[in-house]
Structures are given as C-alpha cells and as structure tokens.
Amino acid sequence: MCKNCYITTPIYYASGYVHVGNAYTTIAADTLARYKRLEGKETYYLTGMDEHGLKIQEAAEKQGKTPQQLVDDVAEHTLGLWKHLGVTNDGFIRTSDPRHMAKVSELFEKFLASDDIYLSEYTGDYCVACEAFFTKTQLGENNTCPDCGKPTRKVSEQSYFFRLKKYEKQLLDFIKANPDFIQPETRRNEVVSFIESGLEDLCVSRTSFSWGIPVTSNPKHVIYVWLDALFNYLTAINYDEHDDSLYQKYWANNKEIYQLVGKDILRFHAVYWPIFLMAAGIPINFKLYVHGWILMKDGKMSKSRGNVVYPYDVTSRYGIDALRYYLVKELPIGNDGLFTYERFFERYNSELANDLGNLVSRTISMINKYFGGKIEKGSVATPFDKDFEDIINDTIVVAKEEYSAFHLQNALTKVWQIVTRANKYIDETAPWVLAKDDAKQEELKSVMYHLAEALRIASTLLAPVLIETCPKVIEYLGIQEEMSVENLTFGYEYKNNVVSSLQPLFKRLDVQKELVEVNTPKVVPMDFKSNVAFDDFEKLDLRVGEIIECKKVEKSDKLLVSQVQIGTETRQIVSGIAETYKPEDLIGKKVLVVVNLNPAKIRGVESSGMLLCASDGKTLQLVEISNVNSGVKVK
C-alpha cells in the first residue's frame, strides 16, 4: 500500500476574505489530511492563494491599493484564518511567488515550442469574476455568466491559444480508462458530455491588463490565470527544480493524490488541467473529488446579496469544532448543503451537546462513581454487549472506507451510530440498577468498559473533524498513546484512571437567545492595527495638497489620475475613486496626501503618493481640509 498522500485544495482568489462557504474546501481537505495521518500516511496538504488576474487588479484599484499590497494583506488574513481553524496545511503556495512564476513562464515557452500554444485573434464574452471566457451557447440570459450569473463583457484581443482540441480524444480515453478519476460519478458524466460536445482551443493570454505572469517571449501578454494557477499543485512541491524530492515523493511516485474542488471549478480541473499535464508530459496521477456548495436560504453566499457569514462570526461564539462539524456534516457527497443558524443550533444542541457531550460526561462520572476511575474489562457480559461490540467494529471498517473515499458526511454519520448506540446501551443496561446489586459488579465493569471503548473509538474516528474535543476525550480516558486508526479495534487495555472531573464539552444553547444574538447587528470590535513607535509614525510625511488637474485612467472604471499641488511641487497621484468622484468635481479640492510612499505604477500610470480617503468598503470619501495652504505638514 502506498505510504504517501498528497491532498490539495484549490487556491483561493486573493480578492477578498474567505466566508464559511468557501472555507468548506479547506476544512474538508484538512479533515482528510488529518485522517490520512491517523492512517500512518506521510501526508502533504497544500493550499494557497490565487493572486493574479483582472479580478485581483480591479479589487486592488477599488481599495486604492497596489495589487501586491492587496494580495499580501489577503494572504496574511487567510493564513491567520487557517491557523485559527486548526488547518494543518504543509504548504501554502502563492502564485505571486517568483519561483512559481518562473516555472509557469518556462512551461508556457515549452508549450509554444511544442506548438501546443499558438498566437491568434480572439473576441469573446468574458466573466471577470470567474476569469473565464464563455461561448454563446454557454452564456445565460442577457449574456450573463453561466457560473456566477454576473454580466460578461466583450473582450477582443490578440491572444495565445492552447490546443485543447488536439487532446480531446486522449482525454476522453483517459477518463474512460480511469473511471474513478472524477468523483462522484454524476460529475464525471457531466465532464464526459462536455468533452463529447467538442472542445474549443482555449485562450491562454491577455493583453487588457498587466497583473499576471508576462509571457517571456512577448511580454505585453500576461498568462491566463487558470494556466498560471493550476500549475500551483506542482510548483508548490518543487516540480522540475534542482531538488525535486517533494515532487518525486508526492506526485511522480504517488498514486494517492486527492485534488478537492467545488463544483463551480470542475471544468478547469477535469478538462484543462489534465490536458496541460498531457502536453507537459507529466503523469496524471491525481483523482478529482468534487463537492457541492454551502448555500444560504436565499442561494449562494455572496457579498452583493449581503448574506455572507464569516468563519470568525461562528467560531468566536461557538468554537472551532462546532463550525468544522457543521460544515463537514452538512455536505452530502455530490450535493449542496445549507448554512442557517437555526440548523446550526439544532445540530449543536442535539448532536454535539446531547449525544456526544452528555455521553462523555455520564460515562466518565459513572466510571469514577462505581470504580474510582478505573476501567476494567469485567468477566461477565451483559446481553447487550456483543451487539454493541459488533456495531463498533463494523463502524471502524465502514468509517475508514468512507473517509478514504472522501465521503466525509457518511463517515460522520457512521461514527455517530456508535454515539447513539452508546446512549441507548446505557438505557438498556441501566448501570445505576446494576450498581445496587453486589452480584452484578462484573457486568457493571463490562458496561463501563464498553462505554469507554465506544468513546475511545468514536473519538479517534472523529478526531479529524472535532480537533479540540477528541484529544480531550482521549485524555479524560487516561490514554497517553497517540491516536491512530491503523490497528483500531475493540479491546484496549486501560492502564490509567479516567480524570476525576471535567467541564462540559458543549454547553447547551438557548436557541431563541442565540437567534436574537446572531440577528442583532454587532458592535464589531475595532480591528485597530498593532501599535507603532512614534518614530515610525514620524516616518510618514503627510501634507495638504490641492488637486489642480484630474482625469480618468484609460481603460479603467475605477481609477483617476490627479495632478496635486503640494507647496512648490506638483505630484501625479493615481487613486481608486472614480466610482465616487467625477474628475471635474475634484479640481480645487484641498486633500491630505501621503507624499513619501515609494512611487508605484498602477495600470501603467506612475503614482507618487496617496490621497487619504475614509472608506468602509462600500462608500468612500476623500479627507478634505480648508483654510490651510497646500504643502503644509499634517501631524
């Protein structure tokens, strides 16, 4: 059996913060990675950020940042979030990483040399949000994007094309020869019919914006984000580097590669990606596991709908395990799931607080009460023991299969059978009755032993999801060994006593109270940045400036370029304020300017400074000042 395992998530767009919907892939992948480590596999779990493309460039312009500043901020936030959620990624690839960029450039040139890529003219309907062109037949009503529903734009440019068509048959043959390449089967069928309807060559370069990897031999073109981004799965593990041992171990010589993706990006991973690999002569060693979406009552979570829930909103009140459990339990393989607080509280109370939390506290307190904390097998069985034991052993086998098949919801449901059966077993055996009868002490021991075993085994199998709770339960049982599913079976010899007292694992929630809480607009704590020394503050040179000229930046809806008089000097400054201000309205305004920022090129236009604005992300206003001459210091 293969000892290595490579697990990847798609890399997240660095245009904004991750919400509970798109946190799903990462939490699901983390669950799988933790499970594989419990199996004793050497596991490399990769996630990262997709940092190029028009979407990022426009988001940066909107926020008055350079694209690099934006992606740095978002990457830092996202890494912090993954850490907070207990995500155990081994790698974090960013597509602005020079190593990644260099390798993608090389591959592009290689594809040009092999004539897999050629230069031609393209006119098409482009969705900026999805960074994809769509054919007329794919477009929704009024030329909207079939994936996200946003309006597409006509884009016409000289472009490079990838010969997808050339690989059509080879890909179909591959998918037919490897029936488990795309899972679940419904997604595989979707892909097969997409390919059978005929592939068109793919436009793989853009000239209408600059934020991307330039084509080395023709730098006015930048490489299409998907060609750039998909190769992250290889550049992150040092493909074609001097030391490529990670690549050799986790890709070239590995048959256990899980690539997890949401259904919205199936085509990119099931069609383009394997074709790119075929053209590059790299083995297609991975399997694609496609999951559905976490939906809100009113559809997909999106900022424009105003229905976004962020992971911190949930974890700050209910803990990390509750969120991880909910998301993993909610998504059936191949279908969508729902996030509502009503459903979340229901699951929290009935499954986590009642079923599991109560089972743990009842079991530990009974073992203390009846046997001073000691767990022993007991020489006389009750009539219910055999059946309970069989259920536990059967669950181990099935849950392991479900995890490995990435049927995470099924795995949880299966393990929960141990938990619910254990609660029923307590009612059946009525330990409090046995305790009163001296002749029944061996049966009572056996009951306690069975309950401890149920907890030990359920906790081990749930540990990939309930990352804080399960290690606690194992500790409560006095077990010091590392958890493992390798030889997991009923029959452990307990050496230590259980803990003498414990805090409840999940406190029951008052649903009505919590609903009021989550529906009341929050007094959000101010996310002030950390303190800086006065000397550092003094490094900033803030001045009063007067806008004397202003016009729109060509081909941009968001940017204005102003000439700003600052005392005796005139500075050219680009700002992302065109959605709020018309150029003519700004002439004569006195504003605050940071004058000693390093100059930057935004959309090819030199900018030497920054106009200060107040913005909450939705509205924006320039900070104006009157009765002070331009050039005066602000301190």
SS3 of 294, please? strand
Is residue 592 within 8 A of residue 542, CB to CB? The reply is: yes
Contact with ligand MSP (CB under 6 A) among 5, 6, 7, 11: 11
For residue 628, the minimal CB distance to ligand MSP (Å) is 45
Contact with ligand MSP (CB under 6 A) among 251, 293, 403, 476: 293
Q: Residue 499: which region, alpha, beta or left (left: phi > 0; alpha: psi -120 to 50)?
A: beta
Q: Which is nearer to ligand MSP, 22 or 159 (CB)?
A: 22
Is residue 24 a contact point for ligand MSP (CB under 6 A)?
yes
Q: Which residue is nearest to ligand MSP (CB)?
A: 262
Task: Please list every residue from 187 through 246 that binds ligand MSP, using CB under 6 A.
Answer: 229-230, 232
For residue 311, the minimal CB distance to ligand MSP (Å) is 12
d(CA 444, CA 450): 10
In total, the chain counts a number of residues equal to: 635
d(CA 538, CA 535): 5
Contact with ligand MSP (CB under 6 A) among 264, 313, 428, 549: 264
Contact with ligand MSP (CB under 6 A) among 21, 124, 464, 478: 21
The alpha helices in 178-319, defined as continuous H runs, are: 185-196, 225-230, 232-235, 245-247, 266-267, 273-280, 311-318
Q: Residue 93: which region, alpha, beta or left (left: phi > 0; alpha: psi -120 to 50)?
A: beta
How do strand 299-300 and strand 294-296 relate by DSSP bridges?
Answer: antiparallel
Contact with ligand MSP (CB under 6 A) among 5, 10, 182, 547: 10
Is residue 62 within 8 A of residue 70, CB to CB? The reply is: no
| Residue whose structure tokens are 């002030």 | 528
Residues that contact ligand MSP, how many (by CB under 6 A): 20
Is residue 301 a contact point for ligand MSP (CB under 6 A)?
yes
> Which is nearest to 571 in space by CA: 552, 543, 536?
543
Is residue 327 a contact point for ligand MSP (CB under 6 A)?
no
Q: Which is nearer to ligand MSP, 21 or 274 (CB)?
A: 21
> Which is nearest to 54 in space by CA: 159, 103, 148, 126?
126
Q: Which is nearer to ligand MSP, 50 or 402 (CB)?
A: 50
The alpha carbon of residue 55 and the mean position of all alpha carbons in its chain are separated, in whole angstroms, by 18
Residue 435: both structure tokens together: 């305790």
For residue 271, the minimal CB distance to ligand MSP (Å) is 13
Is residue 262 a contact point for ligand MSP (CB under 6 A)?
yes
Contact with ligand MSP (CB under 6 A) among 22, 152, 363, 395: 22
For residue 538, the minimal CB distance to ligand MSP (Å) is 39
Q: Which is nearer to ligand MSP, 11 or 366 (CB)?
A: 11
For residue 289, the minimal CB distance to ligand MSP (Å) is 11
Q: Which is nearer to ligand MSP, 206 or 589 (CB)?
A: 206
Is residue 43 within 8 A of residue 8, CB to CB? The reply is: no
Residues that bind ligand MSP (CB under 6 A): 10-13, 21-22, 24-25, 50, 229-230, 232, 261-262, 264-265, 293-294, 300-301
